[in-house]
Structures are given as structure tokens and as C-alpha cells.
Amino acid sequence: MEITGLLKKKENTVMVSDKFSKREFVLTTEADSKYPQHVSFQVTQDKCNLLDKFDEGQEIKVQFNLRGREWNGPQGAKYFNTLEVWRIDSTSNEVARSTDNAPAKNWPIADQPDNGDLPF
């Protein structure tokens, strides 16, 4: 699944156990409507650093899986959903800023000069 919105809030990475870490963030969709939607997502493990190159307020596109699970407690079964993100992209033409705060650059596709000659 895929959705685009404004990065409203990003949390710090939390170590849930010795072997599991997660990071949550909120994406605002339909921001220009009367009823904007603030949707909570999470990234886990090695994906936690995907958020580092994006700033709050920036428009991003996230690709995610919808996950559901059942928990059986003393009062019966309960069901929980998680929106598990596996990819985040900027929606602008510029490359998102790197983690070392260097300015974003648009690199050419090829370093070949365009002399008008076709190779065939």
C-alpha cells in the first residue's frame, strides 16, 4: 500500500527488547481538507533510520504493509493493527537531505556529454 502526506511528527527509536527496535511517526493526509487525517505508522529494526533524512512538515510518500494480530487476554480476544512502513520517499524533485546536513543535489543520470550523436 502507498500513501502521501505531511510528516507531522517523528519519534525517537525505542529499544523494545535486546533484539527489537521500533520508531513511530505521524503522517497527515488530506491536510487541505476540513478534516485532515493524522495516521500513525511505524518502522522497525534497520528501517528506523529511514526517517532521519526527512524533516517534520515535509511531504513524503510511504509504502507500507497492513499487519493485524490477535491477543487473548483474561477478558477475551482483542485485535490490533499496525501500519508497518518499508519505504519512504520524498515527493519533491530534490533528493532528501542527507544525514550529514549537506545540501541536496540533483545528480545527472549520466556523465556523458550530449553531442547529439546516437550510439546506433
Which of 7, 21, 3 minimizes the C-alpha distance to 96? Answer: 7
Indicate the average pLDDT of the chain.
84
50 vs 101, residue with greater confidence? 50
pLDDT given for residue 75 in this prediction: 95
Domains of the chain as residue ranges with CATH: 2-90 (2.40.50.140)
Q: What is the three-class DSSP state of 79?
A: strand
| pLDDT (0 to 100) of residue 117 | 55
The pLDDT, as a whole number, for residue 119 is 53
How does pLDDT run across 89-113, given as a tens digit for each residue? 999 855 444 344 444 444 444 444 5
> How confident is the model over 21-26, as a mean pLDDT?
97
With a cut of 90, say whether residue 70 has pLDDT above it.
yes
Non-local CB neighbours of 61 within 8 Å, separated by 6+ positions: 2, 3, 4, 88, 89, 90, 91
Shortest CA distance to 37 belongs to which of 72, 101, 83?
83
* pLDDT number for residue 92: 81
Kindly tell me if the per-residue pLDDT of 13 is higher than 70.
yes
